Amino acid sequence: MLGSVFFAGGLFIFGWTSPADIHWIAPNIGAVMMGIGILTILQPAMNYLIDTFHSTAASAVATSTFLRSILAGCFSFFTNTMFRNLGVPWAASTLGFISIAMLPIPYLFYIYGKKLRAHGKYSKGSV
């Protein structure tokens, strides 16, 4: 849950400290925050999938990795144009606003996760 805040904050820090007149350490702090956010989001997500889908854990992790790779591949179609047309501050902010919109997701899983898992065909065993 903390990783989602780090990731969103890191995007904004990276974007708005990217101009050449700002010291180079500032955007690197944002990049480190994004890295911490990604690590603290992806690793627990994989653990969640493994703990939730005991009998089909390999398929759940493979599906998650496949979908994440497809999404990353699709981003390459528009990110160069987005950063060129909007500039680094606003392009990073656009991604930051999307990540802020997704901020409640880990908190909702924390609150309603047990109830959601109880309704699933393959996840009932984890409740």
How many CB atoms sit inside 10 A of residue 3's CB? 20
27-62 pLDDT, tens digit each: 999 999 999 999 999 999 899 899 888 889 999 999
6-21 pLDDT, tens digit each: 999 999 999 999 999 9
Q: 0.75 exceeded by the pTM?
A: yes
CA distance 118 to 11: 35
